[in-house]
Amino acid sequence: MDSRLLTSAVTLRVNGTVHRLTLDNRSTLLDTLREDLDLTGAKKGCDHGQCGSCTVLVDGRRVNCCLLLTVACDGSEITTVEGLSDGWSLHPVQEAFLARDAFQCGYCTPGQVCSAVGALREMAEGRPSAVTVGTEPPSGAAEIRERMSGNLCRCAAYPNIVRAVGDAAERAAEWWERTP
Amino acid sequence: MRTLRYQRPEGVEAAVSAVNATPGARYLGGGTNLVDLMKLGVETPDLLVDVSGLPHHDIEELPGGGVRIGAAVRNSDLAADPLVRTRYPVVSQALLAGASDQLRNVATVGGNLLQRTRCLYFQDAGKPCNKRAPGTGCPAIEGVHRNLAILGASPHCVATHPSDLAVALAALDAQVLVEGGTGPREIPLTELHRLPGDRPERDTVLEHGDLITHVRLPAAPEAVNSAYRKARDRASFAFALSSVGAALEVRDGLVHRVRLALGGVAPKPWRARAAEERLRGAPATPEAFTRAVEAELSVAEPLRDNAFKVPLTRHLAVRVLCDLAGRAGGPR
Ligand SMILES: Cc1cc2nc3c(=O)[nH]c(=O)nc-3n(C[C@H](O)[C@H](O)[C@H](O)COP(=O)(O)OP(=O)(O)OC[C@H]3O[C@@H](n4cnc5c(N)ncnc54)[C@H](O)[C@@H]3O)c2cc1C
Ligand code: SF4
Ligand code: FES
Ligand code: FES
Cβ count near B285 (within 10 Å): 18
Cβ(A64) to ligand 3 under 6 A?
Answer: yes
Q: Assign residue B323 the CATH number of its domain.
A: 3.30.390.50
Q: Structural domain boundaries of chain A?
A: 3-83, 92-178
pLDDT band per the 50, 70, 90 thresholds, residue B331 = very low
> Is B173 inside a domain boundary?
no
The one-character DSSP state at B298 is T
Closest CA to A128 of B181, B247, B77, B143: B77
> Is B165 inside a domain boundary?
no
Which of B73, B100, B224 to mutate against chain A (most A CBs within 10 Å)? Answer: B100
Residue B239, pLDDT above cutoff 90: yes
Which of A67, A70, A115 to mutate against chain B (most B CBs within 10 Å)? Answer: A67
A6 touches chain B (CB under 8 A): yes
Task: Please tell me the total count of domains within chain B.
Answer: 1
Which residues in chain A are contacts of B93 at CB distance < 8 A? 130
What's the domain range around B240?
Answer: 223-327
The pLDDT tens digits for A2-38 are 788 999 999 999 999 999 999 999 999 999 999 999 9
Q: What is the DSSP code string of B88-125? A: -HHHHHHHHTSS-HHHHTT-BHHHHHTPPP--TTTT-T
> Is B71 inside a domain boundary?
no
Q: For A119, which residue in chain B has the nearest alpha carbon? A: B101
Residue B7, pLDDT above cutoff 60: yes
The pLDDT tens digits for A49-71 are 999 999 999 999 999 999 999 99
Q: Which of residues 82-111 of B touch A (CB under 8 A)?
A: 85, 92-93, 96-97, 99-103, 105-106
pLDDT band per the 50, 70, 90 thresholds, residue B199 = very high
Average pLDDT over all residues of chain A? 93
A3-83 CATH choice from 3.10.180.10, 3.30.420.590, 3.10.20.30, 3.40.1350.10: 3.10.20.30
- A3-83 and A92-178 agree in CATH topology: no
CA gyration radius for chain A?
A: 17
Q: What is the CATH number of domain A92-178?
A: 1.10.150.120
> Is B54 inside a domain boundary?
no
Q: Which backbone phi and psi does A165 adopt, to 5 degrees?
A: -65, -35
Task: Say what the pLDDT of residue B327 is.
Answer: 59
Taking residues B299-317, report their average pLDDT.
98
Distance CA A102, CA B273 (A): 49
pLDDT above 90 covers what percent of chain A?
A: 85
Q: Reduced to 3 states, what is the DSSP secondary structure of residue B320?
A: helix
> Is B47 inside a domain boundary?
no
> Is B275 inside a domain boundary?
yes
Residues, chain A: 180
Task: Say what the pLDDT of residue A178 is.
Answer: 54
A39-48, A84-93, B249-258 — which is least confidently predicted? A84-93
Cross-chain residue pair B99–A8, CB shorter than 8 Å:
no
B140 Cα–ligand 2 center, Å = 6
> Is B51 inside a domain boundary?
no
What's the complex ipTM?
Answer: 0.95
